[in-house]
Structure 1
Amino acid sequence: MDLDELQRQHDELEALAARFGQAIADDGNPQRLGTLRWQFARLLMAHLALEDRILYPNIQRQEHDLLRETARRLEIEMAPIAQTFSAYMSRWSDDRIEREWADFCYESRQILDAVLKRIKKEEGLLMPLLTEAGLIETPPIRRAG
């Protein structure tokens, strides 16, 4: 199983989340970040679709019980995060962000934290099991940063 694209997306999501986090660090100083927010959203949605259509179905065809069970649990856990993110994107128009900047920053930090924790959990639980099952030789090497 080639996980290079999924890992690349994880790395890019983490980088975009860091930039987003910096932009919302000062909840008293509104920033224009529509482009950054939509870049993050597009990449996250593309990543989730790749996982849903390729990664998790492929894992469910494997004979490694713990890998299948872990993947299934992670897949189920992701649904509420994806739904929350979708609602967040719908709820926050550019005008509302400007009017309610502090609330937007707070909610954005919660969303970013959930996505980043999810990436770490997926990498920490799935990668070792994929290696153990012989589906990858070694876990993808994380870039520094």
Structure 2
Amino acid sequence: MIERMLADHARLRACADCLEALLVSADVPDPESLAAARWALGSTMMQHLALEERHLYAALRDDPRAHVRRIAEAFQDDLVTSFGPYADHAKSWTPERVSGEWDTYRTQTLDLLQTMRARMTREETELYPLVERNGIDTRHSGLPGRNWTREAFAIKERIGGR
């Protein structure tokens, strides 16, 4: 399952790169292209977070070792504090607002992409190796704590994704 999560990270980075390519211009890009790039990132992220929660965090929460549970809890708490601003950002930036406040949108989005990339790097260098070193089985699915589908569609509705 770690391989799948790493593959998801590669897809997320590719989506972030596509969105970032649109953000480098001082001019507002084609609204359809921007919406498609935003939705590609958002939907890929939601799918990944749902997978991570059901397989990775469920297994870590159930681990009998206190140090594993503490590390998992810290990562999960960090996810909540970093995902909230992303979701709020995605929902508050409608196509109309993006075109009217392009420079602000660009700056905020680039910051969020940097935060997302840093988070993935931390997972890859700290969390995933912990799972592998400790032989934690992430193949089985646990119960989700959040409705990622609802989050995804709330974001899609606001950004105009297809």
Instruction: Identify the TM-score tier after normalising by the shorter chain.
Output: 0.7 to 0.9
Give the percent of matched residue pairs that are identical in Structure 1 and Structure 2: 22
DSSP 3-state at the match of 1:29? coil
Partner residue of 1:130? 131
Partner residue of 1:104? 105
Tell me by how many angstroms 1:131 deviates.
2.1
Partner residue of 2:5? 6
Q: How does 1:1-145 map to 2 (within 5 A)?
A: 2-26=1-25, 28-32=26-30, 33-135=34-136
2 CA distance for matches of 1:77 and 1:125? Answer: 13
1 CA distance for matches of 2:101 and 2:59? Answer: 43
1 CA distance for matches of 2:17 and 2:65? Answer: 35
Structure 1 residue runs of 5 or longer lacking an equivalent are 137-145
Structure 2 residue runs of 5 or longer lacking an equivalent are 138-162
| Matched AA of 2:85 | T
Note closer, same or farther for the CA distance 1:120–1:10 as it changes in structure 2 (3 Å cut).
same
In the superposition, the TM-score normalised over structure 1's length comes to 0.85
Partner residue of 1:139? none
2 CA distance for matches of 1:92 and 1:8? Answer: 28
